[in-house]
Structure 1
Amino acid sequence: MNLCYFPAGALEGSAALRVLGPDNPGRLAVSRTGGAQVMAASLSLAVATADTPRFNGAARRLLVEGARSNQLRNPRLAGAVVAGSAATGTLPTYFSTIGDAGGLSWQVTGQGSENGIPYFDLRLYGTRQYGSGDAGWRLALEGMTQIAAGNGQTWTTSLFARKLAGTTSVLTLRAGFNLRSETGSYLSLPTAAFSGQPSGAPLAGQRFSASYTISSANVGRLLPEIHFANNTAGEVVDETYRIGALQVEQGTSASSPILPPAGSLAVSSREADLPLWQPPGGFGTRGTLVVRAMLPQIAPFGASQGLWQIDDGTDQNRIQLRNTSAGSAITGVVDSGGTNLATLSPGNMVPGTPFRAAFAWAPGDQALCLNGGEVQTAAAALPAGLTRLLVGHASTQLNRAAFGEVELVDYRPTRLPNPMLQALSGAA
């Protein structure tokens, strides 16, 4: 249902058009080539088919991401075979143990799906031989030369994990990338970017991720691994973990799970989400947009995270709201003919926390307010020919996606006064 209403205190004729609402695409047409994973309201992983919106989790905000690929060929963990009473069983296809087991034995004790997340269960038991946490039991997730990588690239690995058994948290779950040359020869293992202990809570609520930036020209391959570390020699270990939906992607943070079709062992991709509204006659010279959104991470260096962009079909002429590159600043911009005419910066968002921003424009008069704070103003000329609204993007190339969630977008075809911007952006 598309809502149209007059907020308390609004000027007559400034009724809001609900462009997007929770669990409702409103006026947006959402396109995407191919399906994509999304967390349902019940916190189970589900598939959104091509050209359908992804309303994520209990909050039912619209998830907007750019294109990514999962470089693991077996994130569904196919090929795992549950052990008999005294056997190890079989690890998932392409998985292998690496290094010295350090006194620990392993068993595959289960395989299946929990809330839509494919998993296998791994038991580790024995007596630790070493006192160094870097010498724990290690599991390679791919072949030695499968994932090509190079200097300056940032990669992220992620997985769901749950502890099923083991009364004492002797082991610590870690993750990292084993750096390799072009031929697969060993170079080094970087320090783990995450290190923790999963609880017994449901698998869907326990996703861990680690990112690493390569800083060596000698690196030509990455070998992702998970590592069960223990710092005390002589301790008795008997713990069982559920591991699910593993992912390795080039990027500074983990995106939604990318899984190949069931039965397929191959690198798989997810294309960009494209939520778009093209009102009849385009946008006039005056308007106000209110957005409520949540970004789970700060913007990476060199790539802003877009919240919305009104443009003429190009990046040359636009009004835009974004989380600016290399930080948490929420920024409004006015660009005309490829030249930036105005930049408004009312404050910072907090990763993982929803925020509201109200941006108003008119010829020679723009204003932006974040979470009811101080209104920032500018006096730029407006670009002509603004015809469409992109939600969750800061570029027509779709390479500046939010990689986050947009809950609502309200549009008014008038430039609301600054006190109203404060009220609307400060509302609950």
Structure 2
Amino acid sequence: MSTPLFSALGSLAPPWRHLPMRAALPPGVALARAQVSSRSTVLEEDGQTFAEVLADLPRFSGPARRLLLEGQRSNALRNPRGEGGTPGSSALPTNWTSVIAGGLSRTYLEPRSEAGLQGPRLRLEGTASGSSSTFALEGTTQIAAAQGQSWTFSASLRLVSGTPGTISMRMICRDAGGVSVSSPALSAVVPTGDLIRFERSFVLPADAAIAFLQPALQMSMVTGQAYDVVLDVLGAQVERGGFASTPILPAPGAPAASTRGADLASVALASLGLGGACTLLWSGLLPQLATAEADQTLLQLDNGTDSHRISLRNLAPGGGLVAGRVLAGAAADSPSLGSITPGTPFRAALAIGGGRVAASLEGGTVQVVTDGPASGLTTLRIGNNAANTAALFGQVGSLAFLPFAVPDAALPGLVTTLPL
């Protein structure tokens, strides 16, 4: 327990417990993450290199080493490592294809492995007689899709040499026969000599003919202009959802679409000495705002179901934090505690007692929701709800708890003492 936290509590200090979620899981906190023939990833301490992590192991992200908790996602690309093909020839990695402007030639120069990711180094050279060239990272009828869905395309790119036209990420929508139909607009990226991870999200048009999508990198060309462009494409990913999650990879040598299960972190309230009233403090960060698809759960106390619970959530869509309760299926939320800033660490607290929940964000005004569960809570979930449908997709740095509800007047001061 930190000295500032101890001092702020005064006479309340002795029973307070602090559970740092950095570099190791505290005793009693269980984590499970299912995955089959796939590798989850996490940024290492340098904040630039991805490490591969197997099933059921916690992931601690970046220099701060906070616990990373994400929901289930699948990388629909069968070959994100860019395996296969023939380096030094025009034969691209397995399942990758291209449509090259007249007058140009393509070369798969070599396989690359950098920052924990793999992929090809590609070259386009010659004098163009067309307006664009496209490298597609999957086949025309491989990734099933439908109108109105949100998809995100991400990849680490480096412009090794040359002066390209505009490089864009593209989602080509195709019908059941693989014919191109209405597609979202291209989204430009600006690769440099540094390896940079780009992500672009797309909402598929309202076109009932859409049955598949095909991700691609496209470069605009000027007819009659000479080009010699070399580009690295590492760790590509295509996933359902309005933002990118960490790269999901098949096992080396076994190209296939891959799924990372949700990170499920929980602890039995009894093991913490908690049964009814309590105070909980949370610190961490969310890299992105919530999309319209789902809330983002920071904390939830429940009886094993979502019909009897108390929660702290970032509401969809946006960045407004609320305390909520569900009792016998009837739900209510507090007024907003305020808004978070994506990528910026923050702290929040809940004081729970007698069915009443008081909450504060970063020492702000205490907001209250009443008529919640007064008993029967058995489990503290970190970063998701019981149904695993409202994942945090963020990082947790600290948890602290006290076995009774502190007064509303004390809550804002306590919030700001928790380490970020």
State if a TM-score over 0.5 links the two structures. Answer: yes
Change (3 A) 1:196 1:4: closer
Partner of residue 127, structure 1:
127
Give 3-state SS (helix, strand or coil) of 2:336's partner: strand
Partner of residue 114, structure 2:
114
Q: 1:197 aligns with which of 187, 190, 207?
A: 190
Pairwise CA distance, 1:128: 4.1
Partner of residue 17, structure 1:
17
Q: 1:56 aligns with which of 56, 61, 78?
A: 61
- Pick which of 414-423 and 109-118 moved more: 414-423
Q: Residues 7-65 of structure 1, C-alpha deviation per residue, up to 9 Å, x if partnerless?
A: 21204244432234222211411111235222221332222222211111222111111
Write the distance in 1 (CA, Å) between the matches of 2:352 and 2:232. Answer: 52
Partner of residue 216, structure 1:
207
Partner of residue 89, structure 1:
90
Residue 278 in structure 1 maps to residue 279 in structure 2: no
1:96·1:139 contact (CA, 8 Å) conserved in 2?
Answer: yes
Q: 2:331 aligns with which of 321, 331, 340?
A: 340
- Which letter does structure 1 place at the counterpart of 2:44? A
Write the distance in 2 (CA, Å) between the matches of 1:390 and 1:351. Answer: 22
1:176·1:210 contact (CA, 8 Å) conserved in 2?
Answer: no
Partner of residue 176, structure 2:
182
- Which letter does structure 1 place at the counterpart of 2:25? P
- Which letter does structure 1 place at the counterpart of 2:247? P
Residue 331 in structure 1 maps to residue 325 in structure 2: no
Change (3 A) 1:302 1:93: closer
Partner of residue 246, structure 1:
236
Partner of residue 151, structure 1:
147
> After the TM superposition, which segments of 4 or more aligned residues of structure 1 sit over 6 Å from their partners?
none
Give 3-state SS (helix, strand or coil) of 1:256's partner: coil
1:171·1:228 contact (CA, 8 Å) conserved in 2?
Answer: yes
Give 3-state SS (helix, strand or coil) of 1:264's partner: coil
- TM-score normalised to structure 1 length: 0.89
1:198·1:206 contact (CA, 8 Å) conserved in 2?
Answer: no
Partner of residue 37, structure 1:
41
Write the distance in 2 (CA, Å) between the matches of 1:385 and 1:21. Answer: 26
Q: Please, which runs of 5 or more residues in structure 2 have no aligned partner?
A: none
- Which letter does structure 2 place at the counterpart of 1:246? A
Q: Residues 336-382 of structure 1, C-alpha deviation per residue, up to 9 Å, x if partnerless?
A: 11112442411111122221111212125422111222222234343
Write the distance in 2 (CA, Å) between the matches of 1:175 and 1:40. Answer: 27
Change (3 A) 1:385 1:176: same
Write the distance in 1 (CA, Å) between the matches of 2:257 and 2:317. Answer: 29
Write the distance in 2 (CA, Å) between the matches of 1:235 and 1:373. Answer: 59
Q: 2:77 aligns with which of 72, 78, 95?
A: 72
Say what the alpha-carbon RMSD is for the aligned residues. Answer: 2.2
- Which letter does structure 2 place at the counterpart of 1:164? V
1:4·1:17 contact (CA, 8 Å) conserved in 2?
Answer: no
- Which letter does structure 2 place at the counterpart of 1:156? T
Change (3 A) 1:342 1:143: closer
Which aligned pairs between 1:300-311 and structure 2 lie closer than 5 A? Answer: 300-311=291-302
Give 3-state SS (helix, strand or coil) of 2:9's partner: coil
Q: Residues 257-292 of structure 1, C-alpha deviation per residue, up to 9 Å, x if partnerless?
A: 111111112111111111111132663332111111
Partner of residue 6, structure 2:
7
Write the distance in 2 (CA, Å) between the matches of 1:46 and 1:357. Answer: 30
Change (3 A) 1:66 1:8: same
Q: 2:167 aligns with which of 152, 166, 173?
A: 173
Q: Please, which runs of 5 or more residues in structure 1 have no aligned partner?
A: none
